[in-house]
Amino acid sequence: MSVQKEKMLARLHRVRTLQLGLARAEEVRQAEALAGEHQLTQRISALVDAVAPTTQSTGAHDLSAAAYYRERLQRTADAAVTRVEMAERRANVATEATRAAKRDQTAVEKLMERARHAATAREMRALEDAPGIPRAKRHGPC
């Protein structure tokens, strides 16, 4: 394999490895963001349960305040559901980017391996085609 091609493949492999690392880091970051959005949704649902009307009616003012907070929490819950969906989409995109980066890196590794095999085969052919080493005539004790 030529030195230039070897250097080019090595540089390409380094770049693809860096891209794979960045893609994996982004995938982890998006997974953490998705987990955070799920936790936020659970906290909001717990608050909705806490503000839910009870069997004890304490007065119209308390009921109107509870209704106001329930309505605000419902809007917040709707927004949280939207954020979860967006986070899931971003996590899926990051996962696909990681797969693509891994495919690219694997392709470069296969090219490097193929080039090594071709260089080895060329060296073997060169050795086979090389003229043999003439042996000196050996004469026994005469």
Least confident range from 16-20, 31-35, 57-61, 126-130: namely: 57-61
| 67 — pLDDT class (breaks 50, 70, 90) | confident
- In this prediction, residue 54 carries a pLDDT of 66
Q: What is the mean pLDDT of the chain?
A: 88
Domain 3-128 has CATH 1.10.287: yes
Domain map (residue ranges) of the chain: 3-128
- In this prediction, residue 129 carries a pLDDT of 86
pLDDT in tens, 79-123: 999 999 999 999 999 999 999 999 999 999 999 999 999 999 999
What Cα–Cα distance (Å) separates residue 86 from each residue in 9, 28, 78, 104, 142?
38, 16, 13, 27, 96
- In this prediction, residue 130 carries a pLDDT of 84
Question: How many CB atoms are located within 10 Å of the residue 61 CB?
Answer: 8
- In this prediction, residue 39 carries a pLDDT of 95
Which tokens sit at 81?
């559901």
- In this prediction, residue 55 carries a pLDDT of 62
What value does the mean pLDDT take over residues 45-49? 84
More confident residue, 3 or 84: 84
Share of the chain above pLDDT 90, in %: 61
How far is Cα 24 from Cα 101, in angstroms, rounded to an integer? 9
- Report phi then psi at 61, rounded to 5: -65, -45
Least confident range from 59-68, 75-84, 122-131: namely: 59-68
More confident residue, 13 or 138: 13
